[in-house]
Amino acid sequence: MTRVLLFGASGFIGTHVRRALESDPRITEVECPGRATYDLLHGTPEGLAALLRTSAPDVVVTCVGALAGSVGQLVAANTVVAAKLLDAAATAAPRARLVRLGSAGEYGVVPKGVAVTEEQPTRPVSAYGVSHLAATRLFQLAGESGQADAVSLRVFNPIGPGMSEENLLGRAAARIRHAVAGGVPEITLGPLSAYRDFVDVRDVAALVVAVSLAPQLRYRVFNVGSGRTVTARDAIELLAAMAGYGGRIRETGTGPQRSTAVDWIQADVSRARRELGWAPGRDLATSMKDILAAEEAR
């Protein structure tokens, strides 16, 4: 039976991770400290160590991180948080498994048509990708050396109910909903030609559970994707069709700096399938339907 300490439980991915953890009968307790209890981003290492000693978790999961911001903000939210957790756990919870969410942005530009494995060379092309790669590498080194039972999950493009407008499909869903409600003939988004691997957030959460409960881990990095790729344009046109929106979708400007240079990304998820018995269970249409239902409920 397993006790889990979960940071970032109120965020998009964290909300679904909490649900998945709490619904598994093998997990006895899921403790989700809010920022008032301990702020993983701004709190002191001593405060984190004290929390770990009090909680005595078997697994610590962090869904804390930043998608955008200055270089310093990205490093603080993605890299320093991971380092802080490794340092505190070394003395306060040395037997706990540490699980963090990384990003496909760690790979950078990859050959078109190739599904990337975890052994793909990592050459991030943005501060966002670098900040996640540094954190993943710290976890990898700690795990391989035996200093910590640490593992990173490289999440590709998470989608699903509750996603924010920081995410392309979340932004598109909100604009399509407003356009349908107001009879607006056109919405504007950034460039949509890039190929992306959209993975349902509930499948991401299922892998967090699987890696948290695995008796042993042979690897310290796992891809979390759907194993399929479509253009962002095709995904948004499907979303619009399912929402009953027949207006124009105009592409203008540039995409987010963290992914503009990456025209193609697709996950090879065979490691997680083979080692953990995990596989993505929801197709793109199912995710889209649930995104729209969540938008309508807002």
| Residues tagged active-site | 128
Distance of alpha carbon 159 from alpha carbon 94, whole angstroms: 34
Instruction: Please give the structure tokens belonging to residue 255.
Output: 């995409």
Query: Do residues 5 and 59 lie in contact, with contact meaning Cβ atoms separated by under 8 Å?
Result: yes
Instruction: Spell out the SS3 assignment of the chain.
Output: CEEEEEECCCCHHHHHHHHHHHCCCCEEEEECCCCCCCCCCCCCHHHHHHHHHHHCCCEEEECCCCCCCCHHHHHHHHHHHHHHHHHHHHHHCCCCEEEEEEEHHHCECCCCCCCECCCCCCECCCHHHHHHHHHHHHHHHHHHHCCCEEEEEEECEEECCCCCCCCHHHHHHHHHHHHHHHCCCEEEECCCCCEECEEEHHHHHHHHHHHHHCCCCCCCEEEECCCCCEEHHHHHHHHHHHHCCCCEEEECCCCCCCCCCCCECCECCHHHHHHHCCCCCCCHHHHHHHHHHHHHHC
Q: How far is CA 165 from CA 74, 127, 173, 274, 280, in A?
A: 18, 20, 8, 34, 24
CB count, 10 Å around CB of 293? 10
